[in-house]
Chains A and B, each alone.
Chain A
């Protein structure tokens, strides 16, 4: 079992749908992250949670709504998305935020296609 598990691995949704991505980490880490990976662009940090508290929101549109009920689970709720939101969404965890040594443990990602 991998340390960071993401479901679903693939998701196709219409622009009016509401769906959620789930991330679970089994590493006992306290920080969790959502990254967006689009073709030919650097990975974009979307949200950061530290001990279940959101510490970073990188100007992400409100159609993306994160939720972190505990240190092991992270969700990304999606609604009224646009085709340009199609991307690979990667979840990651790290032992802590401060200091952030940058060694992140990633899941395999959820490939999202918005029609």
Chain B
């Protein structure tokens, strides 16, 4: 069975600081996808990124960047120059390739608080 661990339950930083959210996963499969979702106070989870297990290139999208390292089974998420609007709960998730109806395995989430 798959498992996703987000050890940081809550992180609080001051606006404009950089912050990294950790994600460690476990799976015996070699083909899988990793995700980050954002859950703002309104409740809906918003898809941020999908990364397949064969692509270890880091990705940058504006102030967001993701560091995927298979050697440590980690898929960390960094927000540069954080803003108050980044305050949310962030979930890391995994699905096996061809995962079908099994769906995503989510971590418990990290509550990120950006203080003005």
Pick from A9, A45, A88, A111: contact of B104, CB under 8 Å: A45
Output the least CB separation between B74 and chain A (Å).
Answer: 18
CA gap between A47 and B49 in the complex, in Å: 24
Partner of A40, one of B100, B106, B108: B108
Q: A42-B4, A55-B101, A98-B98 are in contact. Are A103 and B106 (CB under 8 A)?
A: no
In the assembled complex, how far is the CB of residue B108 from the closest CB belonging to chain A, in whole angstroms?
5
User: Quick one: given A42-B107, A104-B104, are A109 and B44 in contact (CB under 8 Å)?
Assistant: yes
Q: How near does chain B come to A70, taking the closest CB pair, in angstroms?
A: 18
Which A residues touch B107, using CB under 8 A? Answer: 42
In the complex, per-residue mask of A94-115: 1 if CB is within 8 Å of any chain B CB, else 0: 0001111111111111010000
Of all chain A residues, which has the CB nearest B49? A103
Contacts of B91 in A (CB 8 A): 43
Residues from chain B with a CB closer than 8 A to the CB of A88 are 43
Asked if B44 and A4 sit within 8 Å, CB to CB, the answer is yes
The residues of A with any CB-CB pair to B shorter than 8 Å are 2, 4, 9, 33, 40-43, 45, 48, 50, 55-56, 88, 90, 92, 97-109, 111
What are the nearest 3 A-B pairs in CB distance? A102-B95, A55-B101, A109-B43
Q: Footprint of A on B, CB under 8 Å?
A: 4, 9, 33, 35, 37, 42-47, 50, 91, 93, 95, 97-109
